[in-house]
Structure formats: structure tokens, C-alpha cells
Amino acid sequence: MRKIALRIILPALIGTYFSTATAQVDKDVLNWYNSDKTGMSTENAYKYLKKNTAETVVVAVIDSGIDIEHEDLQGRIWTNTKEIAGNGIDDDGNGYIDDIHGWNFLGNSDGTNLGPARLEATRIYAKLKPRFESVENAESVAEGDRKDYELFLELKEEVEGNLEQYKGVLEQISQMGAMEPMLKGMVANMLDKEDFTEKDLKKFKPSNDQERQYVELGKMILSGEFAPMMEEQAKAVQSMVDHHHNVDFEERAIIGDDYMDLSDLNYGNSDVEGTDALHGTHVGGIIGAVRGNKIGGDGVANNVLLMSLRAVPDGDEFDKDIALAIRYAVDNGAKVINASFGKAYAQLPEEVYNALRYAEENDVLFVHAAGNSGQNLDEYPNYPANMFPFQNVPFTNYLSIGASTRNHDGSLAAGFSNYSTTRVDIFAPGAEIYNTVPDNNYQELQGTSMAAPMVSGVAALLKGYFPNLSMVEIRQVILDAGDDFAETDQAQPGTGDMVKFKTLSATGKVVNVLAAVKLAEERSAGK
């Protein structure tokens, strides 16, 4: 059974990749990812480039949607100048009516938007269940149906098993309110101080993921955020029960298309923010939030326009939407596509593969988050993939990104990050990332979803300052210029075992913007 990765901060439940908002971000956390000490040396890169000017680069963000009115994203939102807003006409003839800032693939022409969705495993299980649920003897299954039957059994165990686990988690959460004094005592025991303060928590230097989680727990207890956080987590887990693992939930009905048919294009709308743009707005801010304005966190790139392509619901994305979003991005001028999403199963992998090849043919870079299950991707697939099972020739335009931390001594790889020497290319900051969320707010989140836009921002920065380099060349610059931690001993995500960092990615490196700028300058001059 594929391991669950719950978005819950308490180590009593499991390791996490989601962090709640805090009233004030720690000064050590703010913009750490751009620093020269533990981050990517972004600030030093801009100092080096201060006499240079950059061309504007369009980055497509395939995600949950972006709050395009956010104060820290003003001047950073892509506009389709060939389309006239609100006239109900497809002015540019690209098949999308009034697509001013991108497109919402999770809605219909009436303005209705899809909210929660099932996991792909649940959708496939729901399709197979009528065929095989009454089978009592496997020998009775026809030879031509054996593969589907084996998949049915695998998904039955996974979906129903995970459903029971989530129901158990709901019971645990319901008891957490009464357990707050005990949890506070656990934090106090770690600090060896009964009446600890926020200052005590800031002074404490955690040595592992569990201690870091206890520090966050202590902060929430002191600030009064613990109870609201538990309510939020209860809602999230309830949705996993009611939607993600519910075979009877028909989420796509409100859109009305055939999601297995890419020729059925008459769906979607121009609402690029949608129902819950927290994730996409945070991703967009990492790429291109206004730099130096002293609000929120700074983006990596100062020369970008963000194209919002809403195609990732609360649940697993649909392959059709992803394939069409990739093609939309390419056809409308994006040079980088950020893909902070992924899933264990795919129904139309060939269509996504073909879209990625289309991006490759048009020199568009695809940057993908490696995933947050603390697993080796050689053993657990994650779609889209840098190598699909049927694929023979590797992509030249694909980057898979693991998440790094600001703690380089022994815990450089974030405990939640997936890893692989063949399916993860490089690591980038993805823990304790403070940036934009909807309604002019800011929040600290973590995940490989945050690491991927770091690299998308770097790629856009390099393309803007060195436009004669192709995106394939820029991809290689990013990989070649990374900080080399290959021979250092670091905790392996998921297990905590100490391993060489080179065993966690193809390069054994973490992205370095200054080094990438210098290398790009050198290779650009040599052309």
C-alpha cells in the first residue's frame, strides 16, 4: 500500500509538509531561501547583475489558481493582449474565450468551479469496481482482464485501507483539544523548561525534524493557534474521507465534459483564481513576488509575468487538464512551466507525455515538484514523470526538484521530500517558505511544491538576462552550477538514516543562483 502523507503538523500523528500561518514570521525564516548563507545566493546574484537589464519572461503556473489582485504580485501577472476582456468572444482564436490572464480548466462556462476531487487511485478504483467487485475466484477472470483485475485488487487495498486510516486520524484529532496540556508538557520536556516562552523556542536549536515540529507546536500553543489549527486539520482530513477516497463522489459532473477525451474542449472559464488559490498564490509569489518592497517575502525573479492555469483541485489533478494546460502555456508564450503537483497513478499518461514533448519541441522548460512522501521515486511512481514507463528517450526540458532546508549539517534534505538518483535532478529550498497567499496575506508553507518554483524563478531569471541561451541550456546551467553536497552525510527523508547526499538526487547538489548566473554568462559569451 502506498504510504499516506498527511498534512498534519503534529509528530504524534505523522511527519508533515504543511505549516500553518503565523502572526509574525521569524526573521531567520524571512527570505532565507535567497540568502548567501543557507539559501541560493539570489541576493548576491542581483548584486552581480546590477548593471545588466533583463528581458521579461512568462512563467506558466499550473496550480490551484492565483490571486491576481494580490498586493505583492502587482505588475507580475501575465495579460493576453490579443484578447478583449469581457466581450464573450474568442478574439485571438485560440479556443479560449476571454482568457485574459490564463485559463481555469476546473470550471464551466456558467462560472461554476470544481472544488474538492478524488485521488486518481479512487477514480480508477471506481471504474474497475463494477467489473470485479463480485469476483470470488481469481481463476474465473479472463486472461485479457487479468491486468485490470490485479490493479483493482491493488487499489481496493490502498483506497479502502487509507480510508480507514484517515477515519482513525479524525478520532485522534477529536481528542487533541483535551491533549493540549500534555503536548505542552512534551515541548517543555524537550526545552527542559516548564514555563517556556517564545524566546525560549527561538533560542532552541532543533537537531532533527521531530524537534523542529515540537518547536512549531510550542509556538502555536503559546499564540493560541493550536485549537484553530486542529479544526483546520479536521476539515482537511474529513475531505479526504468525503472526497479523496469516496468512490461515489462525482466531482467532474459540474464541468460536464468527458475527462478521458482531449477533443472535448468546450469547458473551463476565465476565473484563474478559483475557489482556493492558497497553494498557487504561494507558488506564484516564490517565483515572482515584488522584490525589495519590504512586504511578504521576495520572489526569486524580478523579470517575470505569471500565467495562471488553474488545473489542480483539492485532490488529484486530471491528466486531460494538465496536458491541455501545458499546450496552452506553450502556445501563449511561456518559456517556463511550473508544476507543483503530482500523483501516484495516471489514466492518460500518453497525453501528458505528448504535451511534454510539445513543450520540448518549443524549447519550454518544465519544472516539477518531486513530491512529499519521503520516498524513493525509484520504488514509488509520481506522475508526471521525467521517464514514463513507455518512454525510451529522456526529456531534455524536464527538471524534478527535491526540497532542501536551511539546516545543512545533517538535515539538508527536508524530511518530507521524495528522492532518487534517477528521478530527482537537484534540490532547492522548500522548508519554512514565507510568501504570498490570497487576500493580501502571507503564510509559511513547506513542500517540494515550494522548491519547484524556486527553480522556475531561477530559470526565468537566467533566460531574462541571457536570452541567447535556450531553455535546455539553462536547465544544464542550473544543474552544473549547483552547490555540491554529494559527499556530505545527510539524513535520508522518511527514514532518518544518514546517507551521502549524492544518493538522494542525480547531482547531489542544491541550486545556487549566483553560480548559475556566472556560468550562464560564460556560456552565453561563448556562443
Q: Does 249 map to a domain?
A: no
Most confidently predicted of 24-38, 95-109, 231-245: 95-109
Minimum mean pLDDT among 134-143, 216-225, 259-268: which range? 216-225
- Find how far residue 451's CA is from the centre of its chain: 8
Minimum mean pLDDT among 64-68, 185-189, 339-343, 419-423: which range? 185-189
- CA angle 378/379/384 to nearest 5° reads 65
Q: Tell me the pLDDT band of 146, cut-offs 50, 70 and 90.
A: very high
Instruction: Give the Cα separation of 370 and 424 in Å (integer).
Output: 6
Instruction: Give the Cα separation of 14 and 11 in Å (integer).
Output: 5
Alpha-carbon distances of 438 from 71, 285, 443, rounded to whole Å: 10, 10, 10
Beta carbons of 121 and 158 less than 8 angstroms apart: yes
Q: Does 393 map to a domain?
A: yes
Instruction: Give the Cα separation of 176 and 286 in Å (integer).
Output: 33
Max CA distance (Å), the chain: 74
Please check whether residues 357 and 425 belong to one and the same domain.
yes
Backbone torsion region of residue 439, taken as left when φ is above 0, otherwise alpha when ψ lies between -120 and 50, otherwise beta: left
Q: Quote the mean pLDDT of the chain.
A: 92
Residue 20 pLDDT greater than 50, yes or no: no
Q: Tell me the pLDDT band of 24, cut-offs 50, 70 and 90.
A: low
Please check whether residues 223 and 295 belong to one and the same domain.
no
Q: Does 87 map to a domain?
A: yes
Number of Cβ atoms within 10 Å of the Cβ of 178: 8
Task: Give the pLDDT score at 490.
Answer: 97
Reported as a single tens digit per residue, the pLDDT across 153-202 is: 999 999 999 999 999 888 887 777 677 888 888 899 999 988 999 899 88
Instruction: Give the Cα separation of 458 and 299 in Å (integer).
Output: 10
Number of Cβ atoms within 10 Å of the Cβ of 527: 9
Q: Does 367 map to a domain?
A: yes
Residue 127 pLDDT greater than 50, yes or no: yes
Minimum mean pLDDT among 146-160, 210-224, 276-290, 486-500: which range? 210-224
What DSSP string runs through 385-427?
-SS-TT--S--SSEEEEEEE-S-TTT--B-TT--B-TTT--EE
Query: Of the candidates 211, 244, 277, which is a domain's last residue?
Result: 244
Reported as a single tens digit per residue, the pLDDT across 403-439 is: 999 998 899 999 999 999 999 999 999 999 999 999 9
Reported as a single tens digit per residue, the pLDDT across 497-509 is: 999 999 999 999 9
Residue 3 pLDDT greater than 60, yes or no: no
Give the DSSP H/E element, type plus range, for residue 176: helix 146-191
List the one residue out of 34, 33, 78 whose CA is nearest residue 57: 78
Alpha-carbon distances of 323 from 278, 351, 459, rounded to whole Å: 23, 6, 22
Q: Does 11 map to a domain?
A: no
Q: Express as a percent the part of the chain with pLDDT over 70.
A: 95
Query: Of the candidates 213, 244, 275, which is a domain's last residue?
Result: 244
Q: Does 141 map to a domain?
A: yes
Q: Hey, which residues does 437 pair with through a beta bridge? A: 441
Q: Tell me the pLDDT band of 514, cut-offs 50, 70 and 90.
A: very high
Residue 457 pLDDT greater than 50, yes or no: yes
Please check whether residues 357 and 273 belong to one and the same domain.
yes
Number of Cβ atoms within 10 Å of the Cβ of 406: 17
Q: How many domains does the chain have?
A: 2
Three-class secondary structure assignment of 318-384: CHHHHHHHHHHHHHCCCCEEEECCCECCCCCHHHHHHHHHHHHHCCCEEEEECCCCCCECCCCCCEC
Minimum mean pLDDT among 22-26, 203-207, 421-425: which range? 22-26
Please check whether residues 141 and 176 belong to one and the same domain.
yes
We report the CATH number of the domain holding residue 493 as 3.40.50.200
In the chain, the amino acid numbered 36 is D
Please check whether residues 376 and 430 belong to one and the same domain.
yes
Task: Give the pLDDT score at 177.
Answer: 67
Helix (H, G, I), strand (E, B) or coil at 278: helix
Q: Does 14 map to a domain?
A: no
In this prediction the pTM is 0.90
Q: Hey, which residues does 419 pair with through a beta bridge? A: 376
Residue 143 pLDDT greater than 80, yes or no: yes
Instruction: Give the Cα separation of 291 and 454 in Å (integer).
Output: 14
The domain containing residue 147 runs over which residues? 120-244
Please check whether residues 82 and 170 belong to one and the same domain.
no
Minimum mean pLDDT among 12-26, 54-68, 483-497: which range? 12-26
Instruction: Give the Cα separation of 204 and 441 in Å (integer).
Output: 28
Beta carbons of 423 and 385 less than 8 angstroms apart: yes
Instruction: Give phi and psi for 381, each to the nearest 5.
Output: -65, 155
Please check whether residues 77 and 125 belong to one and the same domain.
no
Q: Does 4 map to a domain?
A: no
Residue 481 pLDDT greater than 50, yes or no: yes
At 92, list the grid cell: 485571438
Backbone torsion region of residue 67, taken as left when φ is above 0, otherwise alpha when ψ lies between -120 and 50, otherwise beta: beta
Please check whether residues 134 and 107 belong to one and the same domain.
no
Q: Tell me the pLDDT band of 318, cut-offs 50, 70 and 90.
A: very high
Instruction: Give the Cα separation of 67 and 440 in Å (integer).
Output: 9
Reported as half-sphere exposure (CB side, CA atoms, 13 A), residue 444 has a value of: 19
Reported as a single tens digit per residue, the pLDDT across 220-237 is: 888 888 888 788 888 888
Instruction: Give the Cα separation of 417 and 500 in Å (integer).
Output: 15
Return the exposure string of 183-221: e unless at least 16 CB atoms fall within 10 Å of the residue's CB, then b.
bbeebbebbeeeebeeebbeebebeebebbbbbbbbbbb
At 457, list the grid cell: 524563478
Report the sign of the C-alpha dihedral through residues 271, 266, 284, 374, in that order: positive
List the one residue out of 478, 485, 517 whose CA is nearest residue 500: 485
Task: Give the pLDDT score at 247.
Answer: 96
Please check whether residues 515 and 505 belong to one and the same domain.
yes
Minimum mean pLDDT among 148-152, 211-215, 395-399, 454-458: which range? 211-215
Q: Looking at residues 113-129, what average pLDDT do you find?
A: 97
Instruction: Give phi and psi for 347, each to the nearest 5.
Output: -100, -30
Q: Tell me the pLDDT band of 4, cut-offs 50, 70 and 90.
A: very low
Please check whether residues 76 and 206 belong to one and the same domain.
no
Task: Give the pLDDT score at 213.
Answer: 80
Q: Looking at residues 369-373, what average pLDDT do you find?
A: 96
Query: Of the candidates 244, 274, 290, which is a domain's last residue?
Result: 244
Residue 479 pLDDT greater than 60, yes or no: yes
Reported as a single tens digit per residue, the pLDDT across 322-335 is: 999 999 999 999 99
Please check whether residues 357 and 416 belong to one and the same domain.
yes
Reported as half-sphere exposure (CB side, CA atoms, 13 A), residue 121 has a value of: 24
Please check whether residues 328 and 179 belong to one and the same domain.
no
